[in-house]
């Protein structure tokens, strides 16, 4: 039996934080052996907000190296750079012409990001979810492992695919595969260290809200020391009045590999003075092997280049076949 296909990606904007890792990449690694996987570094998405042209290429390489350092296995997974596969841009145009404008204006992330940017909102930011739909649909992905904040974009992807199939497909021959999101409960929404009601985010101007995968031990220690807590005695999960407590316990659970029950019992009588050093040591120990592996990969640039070259070639084959299928369904004259 052929394996089902997985596709996912992360934007190469700055550093990868624990939200990206626990919400997305850790899950890619855990499920990858069961699937045929395509993981892209979505650099075209990274320019939908004002970006630093001098940093984009380096950030893209860093992200690809981090995928490998986190444990992506090339035996079952392909790693590639989105802009290296031209079909992403081309399918986006085709999907643009089928997607109603008001579907995009409803997107929560667009509204939030547009609000932050004031007047300087690009057409690309509005179109971000259509490019994401193209990423997914090009690979006939069955499953898309992401954090909870991407749920609405996945619903839009499904709606776009259904619309294309309804308008241009035949009953027994859909043009596009309808993908399912894969959102794990734990870690799906990692919150900021400075405010347990706000998502941990790359765009938070304060570094104190997030732990980056490449943070040195001193920085991790400082951030956890300064993180927001509450004055209640004893630590417990799932208390809606204690968002910071829930978030920090979940981080400890996921980084230590313990079960929720084990953590609940271990921490029930603890105060923050005891818990914070425990979380600090656990985070440092969990990130150390990733950081070491990352350094090894970055020291071998030829290897990284070859991973991305092979990944792009494989992605190109799959993506071009889908693109040809869509163009044919839409009625284009084939290449002569």
Q: Is 190 in the site for ligand TYM (CB under 6 A)?
A: yes
What is the smallest separation between the CB atom of 181 and ligand TYM, expressed in angstroms? 9
Q: Is 37 in the site for ligand TYM (CB under 6 A)?
A: no
State the DSSP code for 199. B
DSSP secondary structure of 91-117: HHHHHHTTS-HHHHHT-HHHHHHHHHH
Q: Which is nearer to ligand TYM, 9 or 196 (CB)?
A: 9
The one segment of 97-105, 185-193, 242-250, 289-297 that binds ligand TYM by CB under 6 A: 185-193
Q: Which is nearer to ligand TYM, 20 or 280 (CB)?
A: 20
The one segment of 1-9, 30-38, 285-293, 317-325 that binds ligand TYM by CB under 6 A: 1-9
What gap in Å lies between CA 253 and CA 203, rounded to an integer?
25
Q: Over the range 235-266, which residues count as b (16 or more CB within 10 Å of their CB) and which as e?
A: bebeeeebbbbbbbbbbbbbbbeeeeeebbeb
Phi and psi angles of residue 324, each rounded to the nearest 5 degrees, phi first: -65, -40
Q: Which is nearer to ligand TYM, 196 or 284 (CB)?
A: 196
Out of 132, 254, 284, 329, name the contact with ligand TYM by CB under 6 A: 132
Residues 3-22 that bind ligand TYM (CB under 6 A): 7-11, 19-20
DSSP secondary structure of 111-145: HHHHHHHTT---HHHHHHHHHHHHHHHTTT-SEEE
Return left, alpha or beta for 89; rule: phi > 0 is left, psi -120 to 50 is alpha, else beta: alpha
Interaction pattern, residues 68-107, with ligand TYM; x per rule: CB under 6 A: ----------------------------------------
Q: Is 150 in the site for ligand TYM (CB under 6 A)?
A: yes
Interaction pattern, residues 193-232, with ligand TYM; x per rule: CB under 6 A: ------xx--------------------------------
Tokens encoding 275: 């818990």
Q: Is 144 in the site for ligand TYM (CB under 6 A)?
A: yes
User: Catalytic pick from 86, 167, 172, 202?
Assistant: 202
Please, which residues have CB within 8 angstroms of residue 204's CB and are 6 or more apart in sequence? 192, 198, 210
Asked if 237 and 264 touch (Cβ cutoff 8 Å), the reply is yes
143 flagged as catalytic: no
202 flagged as catalytic: yes
User: Catalytic pick from 113, 221, 258, 314?
Assistant: 113
Picking from 9, 5, 24, 31, the residue whose alpha carbon sits closest to that of residue 200 is 24
CA distances from 253 to 164, 173, 263, 280 (A): 42, 45, 6, 13
226 flagged as catalytic: no
Residues that bind ligand TYM (CB under 6 A): 7-11, 19-20, 23-24, 42, 45, 132, 135-136, 144, 146-147, 149-150, 153, 188-190, 199-200
Catalogue the active-site residues: 113, 199, 202
């Amino acid at each position: 039996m052929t394996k089902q296909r997985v596709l996912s990606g992360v934007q190469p904007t700055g550093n990868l934080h624990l939200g990206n890792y626990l919400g997305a990449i850790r899950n890619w690694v855990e499920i990858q052996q069961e699937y045929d996987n395509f993981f892209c570094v979505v650099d075209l998405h990274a320019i939908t907000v004002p970006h630093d042209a001098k940093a984009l290429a380096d950030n893209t390489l860093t992200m690809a190296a981090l995928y490998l350092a986190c444990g992506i296995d090339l035996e079952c997974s392909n790693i590639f750079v989105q802009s290296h596969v031209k079909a992403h841009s081309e399918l986006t145009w085709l999907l643009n012409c089928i997607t109603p404008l008001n579907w995009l204006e409803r997107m929560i992330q667009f509204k939030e990001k547009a609000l932050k940017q004031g007047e300087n909102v690009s057409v690309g930011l509005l179109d971000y979810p259509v490019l994401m739909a193209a990423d997914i649909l090009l690979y006939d992905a069955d499953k898309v492992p992401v954090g909870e904040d991407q749920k609405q974009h996945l619903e839009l992807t499904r709606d776009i695919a259904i619309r294309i199939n309804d308008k241009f497909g035949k009953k027994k021959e859909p043009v596009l595969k309808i993908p399912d999101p894969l959102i794990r409960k734990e870690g799906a929404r990692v919150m900021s260290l400075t405010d347990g009601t706000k998502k941990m985010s790359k765009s938070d101007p304060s570094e104190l809200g997030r732990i980056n995968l490449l943070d040195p031990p001193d920085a991790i220690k400082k951030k956890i020391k300064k993180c927001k807590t509450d004055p209640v005695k004893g630590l417990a999960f799932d208390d809606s009045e204690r968002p910071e407590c829930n978030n920090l316990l979940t981080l400890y659970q996921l980084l230590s590999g313990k079960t929720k029950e084990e953590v609940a019992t271990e921490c029930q009588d603890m105060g923050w003075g005891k818990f914070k050093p425990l979380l600090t040591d656990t985070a440092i120990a969990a990130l150390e092997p990733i950081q070491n592996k990352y350094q090894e990969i970055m020291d071998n640039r030829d290897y990284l280049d070859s991973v991305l070259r092979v990944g792009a070639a494989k992605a190109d084959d799959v993506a071009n076949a889908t693109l040809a299928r869509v163009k044919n369904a839409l009625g284009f004259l084939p290449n002569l």
